Amino acid sequence: MLRSIFLDALKNLSGNALRSGLTMLGVIIGVAAVITMIAIVEGGQVWLVNSLERMGTNLLFVWKKRLTVEERQLFAGRNTELRYDDALAIQTRFPDLLVAPIIELDGQLKAGDRDYSGRITGTSPEYSQIRNFRPESGRFVSSID
């Protein structure tokens, strides 16, 4: 019984070779697409976990909120900016914390006869330790600088 079913299936497959081949190709492409998507998602998860581990679990970012028109009117005349003194106040209040204020802007960088456009980041020496950042060449800014 099982043998006759198997022989009948082979007969039908060989009778419609093009249809059978296209069906197999569709299944192969579908399985490959699913495997590829799973690999991409897994790779993204590994990248995200590694990025979070590099940053550390005890990292806190503080930045100013963009105020709406109503909030600007409400806070008119008050200081709504974060300043270096605010970072110093946090460091004074919580001496066990490392605090690294950051200011970023786009600008021109010149070194000798070379000219670069790029993102310029100003920070304190603690940034290197907080973000586990080491420059590719040279040294990071120190408190003496």
Q: Kindly report, residue by residue over 42-101, the tens digit of the pLDDT.
A: 999 999 888 877 776 677 777 777 778 887 788 777 766 788 888 889 889 988 888 888
Instruction: Report CA-CA distances (Å) from 7 to 3, 12, 32, 46.
Output: 6, 9, 29, 48
- What pLDDT is stored for residue 16 in this prediction? 82
Q: What predicted TM-score, i.e. pTM, was given to this entire model?
A: 0.49
Report the mean per-residue pLDDT for the chain. Answer: 85
Please tell me the distance from the alpha carbon of residue 6 to that of residue 79, in angstroms, as a whole number: 83
Per the CB < 8 A criterion, the answer to whether 6 and 13 are in contact is: no
Say if residue 27's pLDDT is above 90: yes
